[in-house]
């Protein structure tokens, strides 16, 4: 029960890493609000783990404010916020990514972190404590060809993490990031260009521990960073990548 009675919001909790994080947090004793643009998916996950679902578009300020109000109404306060919702663009040469696609990636992956801070930081400052966790990517450290602007959006998240950590430390608020290597999900195809046995073997050869990430791998790191065990840890961008970024 490493998160006993902690009140947490996890965005993008309808699937993948976010669902894994929500499940782990609930198992460790936290109350969890699972927020996703795909409300049905969030509700299905929430039912399984005994959490509560909320609809949110993390790229919309009004929607984020409503999500935080809903979280407070349901749970009282917010101890932990996990900014996990994210999108990629189709792999393509950088000059071919359409402007609207670029805007979408930066709105969901980056602007969301700013909007979340606008909604949650005043509450955490008032209480003198809180934990924010941003789910970035190994793409921030080791960019993949043709995922150019996605790589850059994740780099933005890691710089934002450190900027938030230094500014919010005097208020008792810790801010960290996890950089997952790709999981074996439909997204994998966009990391590899196409999903063929050869591409998989090539990709796996870049991961010293020899396997893709699972939601449980990411949830384990997230749980540690959001727990009191990590009370002196802030501004860290932790690779969970089987050694890929060494």
Q: Which residues bind ligand ADP (CB under 6 A)?
A: 11-12, 14-18, 36-38, 41, 56-59, 85-87, 108, 183, 185, 187
Residues 236 and 233: their CA atoms lie apart, in Å, by 7
Query: In the complex, what is the shortest distance from the CB of residue 220 to ligand ADP, in angstroms, rounded to a whole number?
Result: 15
For ligand ADP, the closer CB: 49 or 187: 187
For ligand ADP, the closer CB: 7 or 154: 154
Query: In the complex, what is the shortest distance from the CB of residue 147 to ligand ADP, in angstroms, rounded to a whole number?
Result: 13
For the record, the structure tokens of 148 come out as 């150019």
Residues 189 and 52: their CA atoms lie apart, in Å, by 31
Does residue 114 carry a catalytic annotation?
no
For ligand ADP, the closer CB: 168 or 226: 226
Annotated active-site residue in 149, 150, 203, 212: 150
- Centre a 10 Å sphere on the Cβ of residue 78 and count the other Cβ atoms it contains: 22
Query: In the complex, what is the shortest distance from the CB of residue 104 to ligand ADP, in angstroms, rounded to a whole number?
Result: 9
Contact between 175 and 161 (Cβ < 8 Å): yes
For the record, the structure tokens of 211 come out as 């396997």
Q: Rounded to 5, what percent of the chain is helix, strand, coil?
A: 50, 15, 35
For ligand ADP, the closer CB: 157 or 168: 157
Residue in 89, 180, 199 with CA at minimum distance from that of residue 137: 180
Q: Which residue is nearest to ligand ADP (CB)?
A: 16
Rg (CA), the chain: 17
Query: In the complex, what is the shortest distance from the CB of residue 152 to ligand ADP, in angstroms, rounded to a whole number?
Result: 17
Residues 122 and 9: their CA atoms lie apart, in Å, by 16
For ligand ADP, the closer CB: 65 or 187: 187
Query: In the complex, what is the shortest distance from the CB of residue 232 to ligand ADP, in angstroms, rounded to a whole number?
Result: 28
Residues 168 and 12: their CA atoms lie apart, in Å, by 24
Residues recognised as catalytic: 150
């Amino acid at each position: 029960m490493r998160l006993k009675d902690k009140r947490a919001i996890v965005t993008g909790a309808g699937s993948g890493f976010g669902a894994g994080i929500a499940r782990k947090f609930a198992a460790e004793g936290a109350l969890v609000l699972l927020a996703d643009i795909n409300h049905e998916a969030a509700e299905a996950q929430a039912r399984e783990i005994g959490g509560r679902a909320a609809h949110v578009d993390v790229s919309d300020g009004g929607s984020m404010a409503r999500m935080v109000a809903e979280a407070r109404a349901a749970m009282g306060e917010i101890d932990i916020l996990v900014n996990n919702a994210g999108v990629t663009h189709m792999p393509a040469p950088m000059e071919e990514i359409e402007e609207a696609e670029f805007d979408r990636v930066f709105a969901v992956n980056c602007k969301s972190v700013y909007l979340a801070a606008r909604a949650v930081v005043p509450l955490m400052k008032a209480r003198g404590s809180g934990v924010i966790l941003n789910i970035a990517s190994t793409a921030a450290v080791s960019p993949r060809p043709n995922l150019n602007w996605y790589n850059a959006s994740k780099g933005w998240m890691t710089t934002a993490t450190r900027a938030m950590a230094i500014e919010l430390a005097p208020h008792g608020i810790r801010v960290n990031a996890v950089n997952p290597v790709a999981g074996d999900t439909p997204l994998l195809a966009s990391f590899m260009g196409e999903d063929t046995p050869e591409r998989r073997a090539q990709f796996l050869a870049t991961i010293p521990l020899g396997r893709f990430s699972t939601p449980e791998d990411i949830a384990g790191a997230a749980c540690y960073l959001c727990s009191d065990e990590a009370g002196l840890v802030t501004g860290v961008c932790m690779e969970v990548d089987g050694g890929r970024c060494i």
